[in-house]
Amino acid sequence: MSTDTPAAAAPPYRSKTAAAWLALLLGAIGLHRIYLNGSGDRLAWAHVPFTTLGLFGAERMATLGQDDRLAWLLVPLLGLMLAQGMLCAIVYALTPDERWDARHNPDRPGRATGWGPVLAAIAALMVGGVVLIGTIAFSIQKAFEWQAEPAVEGRR
């Protein structure tokens, strides 16, 4: 009878291109972190409730209108979760191949990534800029409206 233990399976190759595109397309729900760190990554699962609350706020605003204060608080969560996904896509895409492989693919020969991560970074920069500026503008506008509302009602 052999006492040899089976060799541990090598972890799967983690593509920088796939990680960047996952962060771009589904980063708000943390799928890029699950791809890189596995399903046991608690921070990846923390994305889901915040994105869900933001989507609930957007649905509430679509149903009840812009005067709903709970929607004012929840909609920026969605914008921030989308923006962090774009930021992760940019960081992944701009990480040098050698550093990426040292962190995510140790003991494996490096692969040239090509244009995939570059295109993901360009798209993430465009989408992320619009989302982040929109979120900041919406939040500031609603903060000013919230502060001005009691003064307007008091003059009536």
Q: Which two tokens stand for residue 142?
A: 């609603």
| 108 inside domain | no
Q: Which domain holds residue 146?
A: 16-99+115-150
| 67 inside domain | yes
44-88: pLDDT as tens digits: 999 999 999 999 999 999 999 888 889 988 999 999 999 999 999
Structural domain count, the chain = 1
- Does the predicted model carry a pTM greater than 0.85? no
| 11 inside domain | no
95-144: pLDDT as tens digits: 999 999 999 988 877 777 889 999 999 999 999 999 999 999 999 998 88
Burial of 14 per CB tally in 10 Å (0-12, 13-18, 19+):
middle
| 42 inside domain | yes
| 34 inside domain | yes
